[in-house]
Structures are given as structure tokens and as C-alpha cells.
Structure 1
Amino acid sequence: MLYQRGHNRRYQVADDEAILFQALQIYQRRFSRGEALTSPDKAKDCIQIKLTPFEHEVFMAVFLDNQHKVIACEELFRGTIDGASVYPREVVKTALRHNAAALIFAHNHPSGISEPSQADRTITEKLKTALALIDIRVLDHFVVGETVYSFAEHGLL
């Protein structure tokens, strides 16, 4: 019986790896350079696939051209289980390097709670203000927990 449990566990790990591989393929297809993000749901799905597996906070950005086609998707900052430091100067530098016209931000909450904290709201406003000075629009900021919270859908942008 012990051998059987170990045997089944091996198949479960293989199945989990296959599912993860397929999810990453979907993510890469949807966030490939030149892909147009035609709806918030498309962006939300891809971001959720990318950020859900992490056990620490990760802050990322999707850099878009003026047609909302993907230029790049980058992890910008990593943190701990309950926070990540985000530096507007570094975000602006990266946006300029990509020649982005618009951005979508996203980060995860390993706790599973999608509701943005006051710190999340504050950094989003700082980033929006800094990027507006150089004519780059912030389209949304997603917080990924058990569900995905959209700043834009809640009127916070």
C-alpha cells in the first residue's frame, strides 16, 4: 500500500507539472510582444496565472504601446510574504527604456486577500502621478489573491 501511495503521488506531481506548463504557455501567448490586450479580463487572466504561484509578493508591470499592444511584461520588485518595496524612479526608468505609452501594474498578496491595502493605494497614486509627468498612462493595477481586484473596475484610477 505504501508503494501505491508513492506511485500515485508521482503521477500527481507529473500532472501538476503538465498543468503548470500549459498555464505558462497560455500566459506567454497572451503576453507576447505585439499581442493586443483587448479587454481587462484578458489581462487579468494572464496576470493571475503569472502571480498566483508565488509565496512572496511580486510587483510586475505590463508595458504597452499606444495601441495597447504588449511591449514587455516584467517582474520589477520582489518582497516578502507581506510586502514589497516599489520605487517609482525605477518604474519610470523601465517604462522609458521600453518606450511605453501605457502600463498595467499587478502584484500578488500571498495571504489570498485581494483587497488592496492603504500602502497599495498610495504607491499606485505615486506611480500614476510620476508617469503622468512623462505622458505614460496607468490603465490598471491588479491585486491577485484568491480573486483578482482591479483598481480601474473599482474607480480608483
Structure 2
Amino acid sequence: MIIMENYKNLKDMELIYELLSSLQTKSKAESNVKVMEESNSYYGLPFEPTIGDLVNKPWLIEKLDLTARQTKVFNLIRECLTRVNNSKTTIGLQINSSMKLGAALQERFANKPQEEVWLFCLNNQYKVIREECVFKGTLNTSTVHPRDIFRIALESNSKAIVIAHNHPSGNTTPSSADMAITKRLSEVGEVVGIELVDHVIVGDDYYSFREEQQL
């Protein structure tokens, strides 16, 4: 029996085996690992399955000999891994280019069914010191209030802020509401002394108000 402290030393295939054997007999777990190896072949050569395969290759799971309950467990694990991957923190990230932030946020916003507005508070080196989702839903000028944004920024002793939100449609063209919110936040930022460095819209690509000289 492998004690908890040793799990981190296991190869991905061994970890998958331990997971399977906790749900079914060892012989069936061994058989399922073999199926995963053979199904994961490349030019006829079998490759050891990885944890990433559980997320990125759902068809592999469908090939396994699993009960309905065991399939549910694997689907829940897949969803948990996906959410962890999509929620990677930006704390400590230095915002020296909108491209860097846009790339980081494309993973976070992937497959989000509704719009989310995120606030990133920056220090004097323009490193992220706080990130917070400030709104979920359809974005308009009445749902995102500068008071709420700058209250968080002031609490964090921020030098500057970045706002980002997603367009689930994938089209990153800013709407009239996006333009209006950016203008309001920029104006309020000048008054309170906290610069709005950028407003980034994420979809199939990203749109930066700073890069497009809209700020």
C-alpha cells in the first residue's frame, strides 16, 4: 500500500493505476491501464498515459471498463482538473505587456459561459498584488461601478489597475458599453491617483485598449 506522502513520487501512469484500483479490482485496474496505453499509441507505439490525458482526451475514458459510478468519478476529476488549470493565479505577474496578460487570461476564460469582469491591482513595479472577480453577467455601465473597483484598489494600496473581461462569443470587438466603462474608470482613476493601465477583452484572441490607443 502506498502511503500518502509517496504519491508525489509516482509517475503519471502509476498514479492513474492507484486511482483506478481504489475504484475497482486491481486486475481490472491493470487491464484498464493497458487499454489506455494501447489507445494512446502513436504510429503503433504505445505511450504511457498522463494526468493531462484525463482532461484533454475524454475519448480515452470512454474506452475503459468502468461502471456508471466510476465514470462519474472520472468526469468529476476531469472537471476539477480543468477548473484548476483555468484558475491559475496571476499574483506576482509583471504586467509589462498586454500580450502577456492576454495569453494568461485566455486559459482562465476558456469555455466560460458568461461574462466575468476581473480586477488586477498592481504595485509600483506593475506586478499583480491582488486579483478579484468583481462581476459575472452581461456587462453594462450600470453593473460595473467605479466605486467598487477603486475601493478594492485603495484597500490594496495599488499604484495602478488593469480590468479584464471575456466575450463568450469569442469576438473581442469592444461594445459601446465596454468603451463607456473604460472611459469612466480612466477618468475616476485620474481623480483618485490610481492609473487604469489597460482594459483587456478576451475571446478567441484578445483586445487591448492600451495597444489600440484607446487609453
Give yes or no for the alignment of 1:116 onto 2:174.
yes
Q: Identify which range, 71-80 or 12-21, moves more after superposition.
A: 12-21
2:193 matched residue in structure 1: 135
> For 2:81 and 2:60, how far apart are their aligned partners in 1?
20
Q: Secondary structure of 2:163's match?
A: strand
Q: Higher relative contact order by CA 8 Å / sep ≥ 6: 1 or 2?
A: 1
Give yes or no for the alignment of 1:73 onto 2:128.
no
2:103 matched residue in structure 1: 45
1:60 matched residue in structure 2: 118
Kept in 2, the 8 Å contact 1:52–1:144? The answer is: no
Q: Secondary structure of 2:196's match?
A: strand
Give yes or no for the alignment of 1:7 onto 2:59.
no
Q: With structure 1 as the length reference, what TM-score do the two structures score?
A: 0.80
Residue 36 of structure 1: how far off its partner (Å): 2.4
Give yes or no for the alignment of 1:103 onto 2:158.
no
> Per residue, is there more strand in 1 or in 2?
1
> For 2:187 and 2:82, how far apart are their aligned partners in 1?
39
Gaps of 5+ in 1: none
Q: With structure 2 as the length reference, what TM-score do the two structures score?
A: 0.60
**1:124-144 CA deviation, whole Å, 9 max, x = no partner?**
000110111111111111111
Letter of the structure 1 residue corresponding to residue 201 of structure 2: V
> For 1:153 and 1:8, how far apart are their aligned partners in 2?
47
Residue 105 of structure 1: how far off its partner (Å): 0.6
**What is the CA RMSD across the aligned residues, in angstroms?**
2.6
Q: How many corresponding residue pairs?
A: 147
Q: Secondary structure of 2:96's match?
A: coil
| Identical columns (%) | 32
Q: Secondary structure of 1:153's match?
A: coil
